[in-house]
Chain A
Amino acid sequence: MSLDARQAKPAASVAVESVLGNKEKTIFQRLLSAQSFWVTIALGVMVVVMSILQPEAFSSWDNFYNITRNFAFVGIIALGMTAVIITGGIDLSVGSIIGFVGVATGVMLQAEYSWWLSSLVGLSAGLLVGLVNGYLVAYLNLSAFVVTLGTLSIARSLAIVLSGNKMLYEFGPDADIFNWIGGGDILTIANPVWLLVVSTIIFAIILNQTAWGRYLYAIGGNEQAAQATGVPVQRIKLQAYLLCAFMTAIAAVMLTGYNGSAINANGTGYELRVIASTVIGGANLMGGSGGAYGAFIGAALIEVIRNSLIMAGVDSNWQGTFVGSFIILAVLLEQVRGRRRD
């Protein structure tokens, strides 16, 4: 390209190297500005304090096993929720998907089908709800809040109808293996925890290293711009809801195995804990930000707080108050940080 000397300004002499070498922030500065970093610090402080206050009960292996298993289910779903929230959407139906998938799987097991076919039917039931959510939000442009509020009601109702409002627990010939998948452990770590760790790594790669992941952020940042530059916005949004439903369905199948039974009320209120985890981990409900590690660490923090409150002798009925307060606090924090950025 020929450079027009008349138009050249002093700044024109910048070389490629100086532009590329000039990083916006150092890695350390970026770390300090990440919400998930501070949540990790908070988690560390909680663990240290609890280990001093309750050395035997809190820092036992059994308690570690319990805490990690408890937040694994929420964390797995929070990963899928993160994909949806990054696009600027929300999925309120995850709790009901848990109930619906559990009952669908349980009905199949009770009819003495194999563990894998039953699980497959369960996963399909979850994907079906995800498909409805995604299609209505992405292609018919309906509000994600309203659509998933609708499927929250629909999926729960289907679970009740399908189960005949009974508990399903006679899981047939494959009961042992099915219950092990969700309730067992490998190398003394609970199976769902392994799944959470592997999923977090996969999600981190998808979100940061693939075009698909980048499109989620682009849609959340400026949907019209993404459309104008050739991002297949509708398809990506549909896939985000499918992914969220898929992660929820996997968690639901494992949760059913862990419980050794399926009841239609399973997963009630989970949407709140899942959304709280992603938001505490740094996802912005307005879209455009969030990450895999944030979902993981957010879920962990909520569970450690819950566990600590129980150990501190706080009535478990207070849990909802704490979880709710943390959501508001996290959003408030985001607001304050956002204001400082501008």
Chain B
Amino acid sequence: MPVLELRNISKNFGAIRALNGVDLSLDPGEVLGLMGDNGAGKSTIVKIIAGNFLPTGGEIFVDGEHVQFSKPLDARQKGIEVVYQDLALCNNLTAAANVFLGRELKRGIGPFQFLDHARMIKKAGELFVELKSETRPRDLVVQMSGGQRQAVAIARTRLTEPKVVLMDEPTAAISVRQVAEVLDLIRRLRDAGHAVVLISHRMPDVFAVADRVAVMRRGSKVADKLISKSSPEEVTGLITGAIDVA
């Protein structure tokens, strides 16, 4: 059974049709590359899955259960985590504080609840080790490299055992060496049994890490096939419209 399934999802913004009857399904432990040009509808799909937008039409299923997300928290409670393109990190806070932001561990009695620094630092440290990232929980994010920042944003998604992790352009603005680091992080998420949706412009990244690629063009899905049965040339053609459908 697919962990996430979209059936006939459409989205209109006023007169503009951003998504046009899109079907998409995702199996556990699968990495799906979601590609398309600017304005093709990638971000709209992500925002619908993440609970930022309600679809105009269509249905979403998580583990076969019909769901409706009216806010990001709803999606998170169903096991869908998002790594935003800008990573949504606070530079002035430590790595551990960022991992637990909005979900702090506390201890205390009744209304007197205090942050459990020790437990949060320990847990964040364990997550970084699992991700094989040299990120220290007490370091301020402002001092970190792009790869370390990605690790913080990804560690955040692993606080709970998410079913699906959406990654919005994780390799768009970092150096070549850090890209390799991020792709490793994605493989570790997959190996831990999480399904990953990788939204990306970068062909080599998708072909390096994804099992399957879906291509969007003008609000419709024009291809959905195994990476092993496709090629960068074909995907490029699909994105630009040189190839109609595949």
Give Cα A224–Cα B84 distance, bound, in whole angstroms.
11
B191–A289 CB distance below 8 A: no
Selected contact of B188 from candidates A4, A226, A228, A288, CB within 8 Å: A4
* Closest-CB distance, A44 to chain B (whole angstroms): 28
Selected contact of B92 from candidates A19, A22, A289, CB within 8 Å: A289
B136–A19 CB distance below 8 A: yes
B93–A228 CB distance below 8 A: no
B103–A218 CB distance below 8 A: no
- Which of A128-136, A206-214, A260-268, A299-307 contacts its partner? A206-214
Q: Is A140 an interface residue (CB 8 A)?
A: no
* Closest-CB distance, A254 to chain B (whole angstroms): 26
Chain B positions within 8 Å of A7 at CB level:
132, 184, 187-188
- Which of B12-20, B60-68, B122-130 contacts its partner? B122-130
Q: Is A336 an interface residue (CB 8 A)?
A: no
Chain A positions within 8 Å of B76 at CB level:
230
Give Cα A19–Cα B138 distance, bound, in whole angstroms.
9
* Closest-CB distance, B107 to chain A (whole angstroms): 10
Q: Mark each residue of chain A from 2 to 20: 1 if its CB lies under 8 Å from any CB of chain B, else 0.
A: 1110011101101110011
B92–A229 CB distance below 8 A: no
Selected contact of A222 from candidates B90, B125, B139, CB within 8 Å: B90
Chain B residue at smallest Cβ distance from A13: B132
Chain A positions within 8 Å of B87 at CB level:
225
Chain A residue at smallest Cβ distance from B141: A221
Chain A residue at smallest Cβ distance from B132: A12
* Closest-CB distance, A32 to chain B (whole angstroms): 16
What's the interface size class on B, roughly?
35 or more
A19–B130 CB distance below 8 A: no
B115–A214 CB distance below 8 A: yes
B104–A217 CB distance below 8 A: no
B115–A210 CB distance below 8 A: yes
Q: Mark each residue of chain A from 23 to 37: 1 if its CB lies under 8 Å from any CB of chain B, else 0.
A: 110000000000000
Residues of B109-144 contacting chain A, CB below 8 A? 113-115, 121-122, 125-126, 128-130, 132, 134-140, 142-143
Selected contact of B191 from candidates A3, A19, A225, CB within 8 Å: A3
Give Cα A9–Cα B126 distance, bound, in whole angstroms.
17
B90–A209 CB distance below 8 A: no
Q: A4-B191, A19-B136 are in contact. Are A288 and B101 (CB under 8 A)?
A: no
B136–A24 CB distance below 8 A: yes
B138–A23 CB distance below 8 A: yes
Chain A positions within 8 Å of B234 at CB level:
none
Chain A positions within 8 Å of B86 at CB level:
224-225
Q: Is A187 an interface residue (CB 8 A)?
A: no
Chain A positions within 8 Å of B204 at CB level:
none
Chain A positions within 8 Å of B192 at CB level:
1-2
B132–A229 CB distance below 8 A: no
Residues of A85-140 contacting chain B, CB below 8 A? none
Q: A20-B125, A214-B104, A217-B90 are in contact. Are A230 and B191 (CB under 8 A)?
A: no
Give Cα A229–Cα B93 distance, bound, in whole angstroms.
14
Selected contact of B128 from candidates A9, A19, A23, A214, CB within 8 Å: A19
Give Cα A1–Cα B143 distance, bound, in whole angstroms.
29
Q: Is A339 an interface residue (CB 8 A)?
A: no
Selected contact of A218 from candidates B90, B135, B191, CB within 8 Å: B90
* Closest-CB distance, B182 to chain A (whole angstroms): 12
Chain A positions within 8 Å of B135 at CB level:
19
B73–A230 CB distance below 8 A: yes
Q: A4-B187, A20-B121 are in contact. Are A217 and B93 (CB under 8 A)?
A: yes
Q: Is B91 an interface residue (CB 8 A)?
A: yes
* Closest-CB distance, B113 to chain A (whole angstroms): 7
Chain B positions within 8 Å of A24 at CB level:
94, 136, 138-140, 143
Give Cα A24–Cα B86 distance, bound, in whole angstroms.
24
* Closest-CB distance, A42 to chain B (whole angstroms): 25
A217–B115 CB distance below 8 A: no
Q: Is B89 an interface residue (CB 8 A)?
A: yes
Selected contact of A229 from candidates B113, B126, B156, CB within 8 Å: B156
Q: Is A240 an interface residue (CB 8 A)?
A: no
A217–B191 CB distance below 8 A: no
Give Cα A328–Cα B103 distance, bound, in whole angstroms.
38
Q: Is A294 an interface residue (CB 8 A)?
A: no
Q: Is A291 an interface residue (CB 8 A)?
A: no
12 of the cross-chain contacts (CB-CB < 8 Å) are A2-B192, A14-B134, A16-B126, A210-B114, A210-B115, A217-B92, A220-B92, A222-B90, A224-B86, A225-B87, A228-B84, A230-B73
**Among all A-B residue pairs, the 5 with the closest Cβ atoms:** A221-B90, A230-B102, A225-B88, A221-B92, A288-B92
A-side interface residues toward B, CB under 8 Å? 1-4, 7-9, 11-12, 14-16, 19-20, 22-24, 205, 208-211, 214, 217-218, 220-222, 224-226, 228-231, 288-289, 341
Interface contacts beyond A16-B129, A23-B136, A221-B90: sample of 17 additional A-B pairs, CB < 8 Å, sorted by A = A3-B191, A4-B187, A7-B188, A8-B132, A14-B134, A16-B122, A19-B129, A19-B136, A24-B94, A24-B138, A217-B90, A221-B92, A224-B88, A225-B86, A230-B72, A230-B101, A230-B102
